[in-house]
Amino acid sequence: MQPDLLPDIALHRARRERVIEKMGKGVMILATAPEVIRNRDAHFPYRYDSHFHYLTAFPEPEAVLVLIAGDADKNPPKHILFCREKDMEREIWDGFRFGPEEARDVYRFDATFAFDKLDEELPKLLENQPSLHYAIGFDAAWDARMLSWLNVVRAKGRSGVSAPATLLDARAIIDEMRLFKDAHELALMQRAADISAAGHLAVQRNCKPGMGEWEIEAELLYHFRKGGCQAPAYTSIVAGGANACVLHYIANDQPLRDGDLLLIDAAGEYQGYAADITRSFPVNGRFSAPQRDIYEIVLAAQLAAIDAVKPGNTWNTPHDTALRVLTQGLRDLKLLDGELDGLIEQEAYKPFYMHKTGHWLGRDVHDVGEYKINNEWRALQTGMTLTVEPGLYIRPSEEVPKAFWNIGIRIEDDVAVTENGHHVLTAAAPKSIADIEEVMRHATR
Ligand code: GLY
Ligand code: MN
Ligand code: MN
């Protein structure tokens, strides 16, 4: 393992203690993600479950966390892990496994059991517990197992054993904790952002007409992995020309043409934390006049929206801010006609801007956390991290001058809310027209 990848185990134990505090009583059961077959007997690269890893740092599949809140004096809280047994034969083929004993010591659990013992041990851990927290409905197979364990406990009713009477969604507690990033998490996110921004800078340097979208994707993946990311945070979008107007374009199999723009939405994941960056730039290094017109509007909207990221504003303030700038820009270019407030109210911008201006960012690229509380957009607070990603996508249409057809532009940065405002994690990826053209003038091939 790279030395700076060693997880802070005490921090993870402290997170579990906070979960227990919030539970108050009862038991929480949280399984990590299963391995997934890609075809026949070949797997997708393994990725642990974000909630499970946030609380354990334990990287192996076939593992389950059990937290028992206990009660005041007689029954102290208990942190329990089920994990795979050591298995020399499997370790020769697939690599090291901790096994329950070493996992207990390294990852600071009070007790550990073999994963194979789940059916035997788990019902015992549910006995006489008032409530059970788990990710209800997340995985049908786990729902079935959980209910079968509850039934085992219920069947003991006549011997005076009670089963949990209350089922709660474990995510209600953990989502809210994950929404607020601590200093350790912010440092990991900054690293993911730095590596990803360096990848964007590198492909801006190297891009030229005649290359394929797939070549740019390959270079991005090279830089993410070489920089130390374990994986891309999501499937890269490398969209030349009209492809940029397909929001989830991932085929990345078309040639890049002189005169077209290239929209790249790609980033790496570092130690479980995602970056999420979009840049749009001309394949040949020089913006045409219509491309410049649209780009300046999107950039102005993005800068204004980033400025609106600060404590005191709500989740939706950056989106509302971006909408005003985008709609005004579309009016200035005569792509929309009417009074500004009316156009915003009627959502006249929707044919050109059909998505929201951002989302929470963290372990999941679309991270957990509520956006509204009591039906009101929630206040932005220190430690929250989000993307700011306005765009304009101009599809061919009789109502639009041909010069603008197939221009698709999105500019996306990752932003942390700080005490006094915000910090842009991804500022190292060039985005002003002057900076992009300057970088591309010094093309390395
Ligand atoms: N890359 C996914 C997103 O921007 O939401
Ligand atoms: Mn995003
Ligand atoms: Mn993105």
| Residues constituting the chain | 445
Q: List the chain domain ranges.
A: 3-174, 180-441
Q: Assess whether pLDDT exceeds 80 at residue 12.
A: yes
Mean pLDDT, residues 43-62 = 98
CA of 442 to the centre of ligand 2 (A): 29
What's the pLDDT tens digit per position in 364-385? Answer: 999 999 999 999 999 999 999 9
**Is residue 163 a contact partner of residue 153, using CB atoms and an 8 Å limit?**
yes
Confidence of residue 4 (pLDDT cuts 50, 70, 90): low
pLDDT band per the 50, 70, 90 thresholds, residue 7: confident
What is the pLDDT, as a whole number, of residue 3? 52
Does 3-174 carry CATH code 3.40.350.10? yes
Q: Express each pLDDT in 145-165 by its tens digit.
A: 999 999 999 999 899 999 999
pLDDT score recorded for residue 73:
72
91 C-alpha to center of ligand 2: Å? 38
Q: Mean pLDDT across the stretch 294-298?
A: 98
78: which strand partners?
68
- CA 139: distance to chain centroid? 20
- pLDDT digits 0-9 by tens, 314-360: 999 999 999 999 999 999 999 999 999 999 999 999 999 999 999 99
Q: In which residue are the tokens 């549910």 written?
A: 126
From 200, 276, 367, 410, give the residue whose CB has the most ligand 1 atoms within 8 Å, as the site to mutate. Answer: 276
What's the gap in Å between 155 CA and the centre of ligand 3?
A: 50
The predicted structure's pLDDT at residue 372: 98
Element of type H or E holding 332: helix 317-332
Q: Pick the atom of ligand 1 nearest to 237's CA.
A: 1
Domains 3-174 and 180-441 share a fold: no
pLDDT at 308 over 60: yes
Per DSSP bridges, beta strands 78-83 and 111-114 are parallel
CATH architecture of 180-441: Alpha-Beta Complex (3.90)
pLDDT of amino acid 444: 61
Residue 134 has pLDDT above 80, yes or no: yes
Q: Which atom belonging to ligand 1 lies closest to the Cα atom of 266? A: 1
By annotation, the residues acting in catalysis are: 41, 248, 265, 276, 355, 359, 366, 389, 393, 410, 412
pLDDT tens track for 210-243: 999 999 999 999 999 999 999 999 999 999 999 9
* Per-residue pLDDT at 2 exceeds 60: no
Q: Given the CA of residue 412, which atom of ligand 1 is nearest to it?
A: 4
3 state DSSP class of 272: coil
65-89 average pLDDT score: 94
How confident is the model over 67-76, as a mean pLDDT? 88
Which helix (H) or strand (E) element contains residue 387?
A: strand 385-388
Classify 172 as helix, strand or coil. Answer: helix
Averaged over 194-204, what is the pLDDT?
98
